[in-house]
Amino acid sequence: MTYHCGDVIPVSTVVSIDNCGGVTTTPSHVDTHKLLETVPGEVITRNWTSSDCSQNIGEAQETILMLDKCDFIVNEPFSGVGVNVAIRVTNNDANEDDILDSVKIKVKIDDETYTGDIRGVFFDLVSGSAAKIGDIDGSDHVTSSHVEEDQVDRLANDVTMKGGGKNAHVFDVGVEIGTRGKSKDDIQSVEFVVHGISTDDIDDDFGSFGIRLTSVGAGRDREQSSKLSGSTSCCRASNLQQV
């Protein structure tokens, strides 16, 4: 089952049957499962106890794994053509100390009309998280990267988020993808890993992601470019409700 931010996880339906009849099944600690206190990767355990008219007892255990997956579309152009770009942000497995300390970011052009060459991925973090970032790797398409809180809007001559009549599109992190022009590489999908952070460190304000596309167009006509921005829809502990 999949639930979204703000959803209340319902109590499962459990059926117990025996020859005596009159079976009563109850879960333990349902009213104390505070999802506000959970983090992605944590396992919630519910113990179910069944008893019949002869006071025979049966027990079973239910486990609920909390996963954090962010799927959203960036398509607001402040320069150039509007193109739907799908982004997925997920936590990698916890480290040996059970700490979530890296995220996987997948960027894919998902548009029925236009395509383009992905040249830059920019994003914001919650305040202070930029200092935690380590390596950015996991793909041969990652050419360079730069991390500096509220200072990143350009990585190369053609990998810039400046434009649209103002220079307000600055980010904390920028990742250059591939090389200039589509003759050497023409990238419509890329996936990379950012070490040192979890999805809780991704800022969810509007415009928290920026995408730089070159060679944008339809069919063979790809002479345009795009600078896009959009917001995340990440689930995190502060957005979850109590069961």
Strand ranges (E), the chain: 24-27, 43-51, 57-65, 69-74, 76-80, 85-91, 102-109, 115-123, 136-137, 142-152, 154-156, 159-160, 171-177, 189-195, 209-218, 221-230
Question: Which three-class secondary structure state does DSSP give residue 188?
Answer: coil
With contact defined as beta carbons under 8 Å apart, do 158 and 198 qualify? no
| Residue among 190, 202, 9 nearest 100 (CA) | 202
Side-chain half-sphere CA neighbours of 175 within 13 A:
25
With contact defined as beta carbons under 8 Å apart, do 56 and 18 qualify? yes
CA dihedral 91→93→94→96, nearest 10 degrees, is -150
How many other CB atoms are found less than 10 A from the CB of residue 206? 11
Q: Give pTM, 2 decimals.
A: 0.70
Per-residue pLDDT, 93: 76
Query: Residue 54: CB partners within 8 Å, gap ≥ 6?
Result: 20
Where b means 16+ CB within 10 Å and e means fewer, 207-239 reads bbbbbbbbbbbeeeebebbbbbbbbbbbbbbee
- Strands of the sheet containing 115-123, edge to edge, are 76-80, 221-230, 209-218, 115-123, 171-177, 142-152
Question: Which three-class secondary structure state does DSSP give residue 1?
Answer: coil
Per-residue pLDDT, 187: 96
Q: Please state the separation of Cα 173 from the chain's center in Å.
A: 15
Per-residue pLDDT, 9: 58
How many other CB atoms are found less than 10 A from the CB of residue 116? 27
pLDDT tens digits for the chain (243 residues)?
555 444 555 666 666 677 666 666 665 544 333 343 344 455 667 777 877 777 777 777 776 655 555 667 787 777 888 999 988 888 887 777 777 789 999 999 999 999 999 999 999 998 999 999 999 998 899 999 999 999 999 998 889 998 755 545 889 999 999 999 898 899 999 999 999 998 888 876 544 899 999 999 998 899 999 999 887 655 443 333 332
CA–CA separation, 78 vs 227, rounded Å? 6
CA–CA separation, 9 vs 23, rounded Å? 25
Per-residue pLDDT, 224: 94
Per-residue pLDDT, 238: 36
With contact defined as beta carbons under 8 Å apart, do 136 and 195 qualify? yes
Per-residue pLDDT, 195: 95
Query: What is the amino acid identity at position 206?
Result: F
